[in-house]
Structure 1
Amino acid sequence: MSMAKILKLEDTNVCLVTRSELLDKGYTRGKIANLLRKGELVRICNGVYLDPPVEVNYRESTHLLGCAGFMLSARRDWALSHWSAALMHGLPGWKLPLATTAVTMDSPTPRSMKGPTSYQRMTRLPADDVTIIAGFKVTGIERTLLDVGTTCGFAAAVVAIESALYKQLVRKHVLVEYFGSKRNLNNLPAGLKALAFASALSESVLESRSRLFFDHFGIAQPEQQVLIHTRSGRKYRVDFLWRALKLIGEADGKAKIVGAGTTREQEKRLREHWRREEDLRAEGYTVVRWTWDDLANPHELRTRLESAFAQARRVAA
């Protein structure tokens, strides 16, 4: 996989160049400085530049550019690790500390150093725990998820693990075995807790966050990705289902319902959405929806869900 693809910049001619490469091509230090002043080069880190400059509006790509810059300028045998490796594997950056590049080097003597732009860790790093992505050494998916699970907090670890499981980057039983082989690791219980909670059925960060929301407020975890057959002959897969109450939960929003395309295509999808709602309600199901904005106001969402539970109990009675 190329770095441009990881950065979601496949349609550009963007590349990373080092100062030494520019000097080898005949650029003088003064010329490089002039290009930087004019914005025709962008400094990623000391001695590494983005050429041509492109606008990067999302924190994940900004972080990955920093990772690439660090690795190109590093003088030691580092591997990207922790949250940096998670992004290299294509996992979401939600709740990860992306202000610093995380790297690990094999060493018999564990120690770590944290600077303004990097978190450097020296510890045992077997060759089996390292892979190559976009030409850079990166911790393998099992080691990456273990590191995230033991350093980044429960919520961030759950989101990362669920994303990896859903994308089939790794199987849960493989993670269970791998985590279990690290019995002497500091903070291993935190990683094991996140792994035990994680589901392979969450299709998005929003669905993972929804499960965390249920857990936080003591709401019973629903079934996920359930296929419901209706008398109309149509069948629908729902995000969440509390089967006993025939209550459906949908973690989505206008973008998921309407999507991209022409106005006519959007109107067609909207009609299909309302037909779906009518079919499900005709089967006696109650449907409640929430979005990212709703999760930002958890107590309000909890109240709305409690009302939906009450309504579903009345319908089911």
Structure 2
Amino acid sequence: MDDTWGWAIGGVFTTRMALGHGIDRDVLTAGCRRGVIRSLGRGLYGVGPAAASPEARHAELCRALLLEYPDAVLAGRSALLASGLPVWGMPLSTALLRRPVDRQVTRSGARIRALDPGATVIDTQTGPATSPVHAIVQAALDHGAAVGVVTADAALGRGVVAHDALVAETSRRAGHRRVQQAVAMTSLCDDRSESVGESRLRLVLVAAGLAVTPQVQVRDAGGALVGRVDLAVDGTNVLVEFDGLVKYRDGGPEALVREKRREDRLRELGYVVVRITWQDLRHPDRVVAAVRRAVAISRRHAA
């Protein structure tokens, strides 16, 4: 870090802090031009190269905003990220804060809402934030049921929240004009989904009217476990696997060979296996069509 900015806190600072260290606005402008600091929003700066991911950049923005507003707490998507929960489908270019204001305010890099006296505040590495229960429901209200489900699945699976608590928080927000989005989220979330991709895949199939069960154990005639599959289409021999490729990357060629043998064994037992990738999820209609074709094949074989 350039010694000029060594007083920055966690690599971020505000204009007010700079002025307090004798650094005027012309120096700030020159620093941005040279690339040694970056503007994160009006009056907010980061030191050094930009963070690599949208999530890391959002966390940096949140830290700077909390320096600007010491009376604020992170909320919604910003609180979820601070708690280490997935934020798929949420806009990360702006943060969401709550502080003592009379009405919602929008500023460069943030949306600021009034404090919610019913929300529990916790400490995170990023700063004070509303609890995961409150933040998940807020995300569903702000961004829709599907977005809320993806995060709720992860939080439930990790034991971070309880389903009853999500229902109670949704009931507390009964007067919100988009509360039905949160209600839908509580009815669709499932702690058995083990990744963002699996949650999204399940939602695509359920929306198409396909009943599915997550994380099903498949056993052979002797009762030996052949494998645990991501989703089984209820009432059929169709299994749907989300292929995120992480297990192959981490496990190397051996993992790929094991997965091939496992799938061969499932097919030998009469199952029809459909593999879905991240790319496939960009085209939900194609995903549904592929699973419906598999169901038709399964039924023909059973006839």
Q: TM-score, normalised by structure 2?
A: 0.85
Whether 1:85 aligns to 2:79 is yes
Distance (whole Å) between structure 2 residues aligned to residue 166 and residue 87 of structure 1 = 16
Cα pair 2:214 2:231 within 8 Å, conserved: yes
Q: What's 1:209 paired with?
A: 200
**Which among 167, 173, 176 is matched to residue 164 of structure 2?**
173
Aligned to 2:36: 40
CA contact (8 A) 1:45 1:69 kept: no
Residue 251 of structure 1 deviates from its aligned partner by 0.9
Q: Deviations over 1:197-230 (max 9, x none)?
A: 111111111111112211222222x111122234
- Partner deviation per Cα, 1:8-67 (whole Å, 9 max, x = no partner): xxxxx962244555566676666554433321222323444323x234232222222222
Partner of 1:9: none
Q: Give 1:258 shift.
A: 2.1
Match of 1:62 among 57, 65, 70: 57
Q: Judging changes above 3 Å, is the alpha-carbon distance between structure 1 residues 280 and 94 closer, same or farther for their aligned structure 2 residues?
A: same
Change (3 A) 1:94 1:229: same
Q: Counterpart of 2:285 in structure 1: which amino acid?
A: H
Q: Write the letter of the residue equivalent to 2:65.
A: F
For the residues of structure 1 that align with 2:301 and 2:262, how far apart are their CA atoms?
19
**2-structure distance, mates of 1:99, 1:17:** 18
Alignment partner of 2:112 out of 120, 130, 142: 120
> CA 1:106–1:313 in 2, change beyond 3 Å: closer, same or farther?
farther
Question: Structure 1 pair 193/93, CA: closer, same or farther in 2 (3 Å)?
Answer: same
C-alpha deviation, 1:92, in angstroms: 2.0
**Structure 1's 23 and 184: CA in aligned 2 closer, same or farther, altered over 3 A?**
closer
Cα separation, 2, equivalents of 1:81 and 1:48: 19
Question: CA distance change for structure 1 residues 26 and 187 in 2, over 3 Å: closer, same or farther?
Answer: closer
Report if the CA contact (8 A) 1:86-1:144 is conserved.
Answer: yes
* 1:258 maps onto 2:244 in alignment: no
SS of 1:146's equivalent? helix
Unaligned runs of 5+ in 2: 1-8
Q: Matched residues in 1 for 2:147 and 2:122: separation?
A: 23
Q: Distance in 2 between matches of 1:97 and 1:163?
A: 19
* Partner of residue 269 from structure 2, selected from 269, 283, 294: 283
Q: Which runs of 5+ in 1 are unaligned?
A: 1-12
TM-superposed deviation, 1:81: 0.8
**Is residue 104–residue 123 contact of structure 1 (8 Å, CA) maintained in 2?**
yes
Tell me which moved more, 188-197 or 173-182: 173-182
Residue in structure 2 matching 1:245, options 236, 249, 255: 236
Aligned identity (percent) is: 27
> Residues 89-108 of structure 1: matches in 2 within 5 Å?
89-106=83-100
Match for 2:58: what amino acid?
H
Distance in 1 of aligned mates of 2:289 and 2:27: 62
Corresponding residue number in structure 1 for 2:260 = 274
Two-structure CA RMSD over aligned residues (Å): 2.7
Which residue identity does 1:132 align to in structure 2?
A: D
- Indicate if the aligned counterparts of 1:79 and 1:138 stay in contact, CA closer than 8 A: yes
Deviation at 1:239, TM superposition (A): 0.2
Q: Which residue matches 1:157? A: 148
Deviations 1:117-158 (A, max 9, x none): 3211115324x5211212522111111112112221122121
Amino acid at match of 2:192: L
Q: Distance in 2 between matches of 1:286 and 1:257?
A: 22
Structure 2 counterpart SS, 1:224? strand
CA drift at 1:242: 2.4
Whether 1:225 aligns to 2:218 is no
CA 1:216–1:242: 2 relative to 1, 3 Å: closer
Q: Is the 8 A contact 2:202 2:231 kept in 1?
A: no
Conserved in 1, the CA contact under 8 Å of 2:40 and 2:109? no
Residue 181 of structure 2, aligned match among 182, 185, 190 = 190
Q: Deviations over 1:169-208 (max 9, x none)?
A: 1011222223223433443222111111111111111111
**8 Å contact kept, 1:78–1:105:** yes
Alpha-carbon separation, structure 2, partners of 1:257 and 1:132:
33
